[in-house]
Chains A and B, each alone.
Chain A
Amino acid sequence: AQSVSQHNHHVILSEAASLELGCNYSYGGTVNLFWYVQYPGQHLQLLLKYFSGDPLVKGIKGFEAEFIKSKFSFNLRKPSVQWSDTAEYFCAVISNAGKSTFGDGTTLTVKP
């Protein structure tokens, strides 16, 4: 069965701190990996995605994620967070069969 695990439920950081949110998935076939973000009062929106090729992918607002196939991981990183990064972050896997699975999300609070 396809599953996604996000290890951190709530992360609190001060501005300029570095961020890493963990995401591990389980699936036997080829997957497409995503990070979605939901800012307060807004819709879920795509942050970045990995389909193939370079395992280090860059997204919007300075975020990046690294796909490590051997660890079934797709961790999200940002070198220096800002107050405006306060949001909920979801890791997701979409299989080639079209089934999508989301993690339970990580709430990031950035203190000014």
Chain B
Amino acid sequence: DAGVTQSPTHLIKTRGQQVTLRCSPISGHKSVSWYQQVLGQGPQFIFQYYEKEERGRGNFPDRFSARQFPNYSSELNVNALLLGDSALYLCASSWGERLYFGPGTRLTVT
């Protein structure tokens, strides 16, 4: 079975721009979560979606938004990028409470 996939792998953006990151969960998984991981820190919870509805939100500004599609794939959008948004963005799909992580998207904001 294919694992969680994310695209793109790497991305370079300029301050003020907008970015969209994509995630496809493991087949059969209905829940997708997004995390931001800055170097030297653990993953920080951004959003969780279950059955296309937002189930949880972390302490991130409104510049961060997400949605889940009928096929359970998900997009994370970040508007008005700041230098501090540079990080590895992880997507995880879940079966019960167990998370299955994707490889991440490395976002660099210059």
A103→B45 contact, CB < 8 A: no
The winner among B45, B90, B97, B102 for most chain A CB atoms within 10 A is B97
For residue A94, which residues in chain B have a CB less than 8 angstroms away from its CB? Answer: 97
For B, the interface residue count at a CB cutoff of 8 angstroms equals 25
Q: How far is the CA of A52 from the CA of B43 in the complex (A)?
A: 24
Q: How far is the CA of A104 from the CA of B44 in the complex (A)?
A: 9
Chain B minimum-CB-distance residue to A107: B40
In the assembled complex, A82 has its CB within 8 A of some CB on chain B: no
Q: Which of A41-49, A62-70, A73-81 contacts B (4 or more CB under 8 A)?
A: A41-49
The winner among B42, B55, B90 for most chain A CB atoms within 10 A is B42
Identify which of A46, A90, A99 contacts B43 (C-beta below 8 A): A90
CB distance from B40 to the nearest CB of A (A): 7
Q: How large is the interface on A (under 10, 10 to 19, 20 to 34, 35 or more residues)?
A: 20 to 34
Q: Is the interface of A mostly helix, strand, loop or mixed?
A: strand
For residue A101, which residues in chain B have a CB less than 8 angstroms away from its CB? Answer: 45
For residue B43, which residues in chain A have a CB less than 8 angstroms away from its CB? Answer: 44, 90, 102
Q: How far is the CA of A68 from the CA of B4 in the complex (A)?
A: 33
Contact indicator per residue, chain A 69-112, by CB within 8 Å of chain B (1) or not (0): 00000000000000000000010101001111111110000000
A103→B56 contact, CB < 8 A: no
Contact indicator per residue, chain B 27-59, by CB within 8 Å of chain A (1) or not (0): 000000101000011111100101000011010
14 more CB-based (< 8 A) A-B contacts, given A4-B42, A102-B43: A43-B102, A43-B104, A44-B43, A44-B90, A44-B99, A46-B98, A90-B43, A98-B48, A98-B50, A98-B55, A98-B56, A99-B45, A102-B35, A104-B41
Interface residues, chain A, with chain B CB atoms under 8 Å away: 4, 6, 32, 34, 36, 43-46, 49, 51, 90, 92, 94, 97-105
* A-B contact list, 29 entries, CB within 8 Å: A4-B42, A6-B42, A32-B97, A34-B97, A34-B98, A34-B99, A36-B101, A43-B3, A43-B102, A43-B103, A43-B104, A44-B92, A44-B99, A44-B101, A45-B101, A46-B99, A49-B97, A49-B98, A94-B97, A98-B48, A99-B48, A99-B56, A100-B33, A100-B48, A102-B42, A103-B42, A104-B40, A104-B42, A105-B42
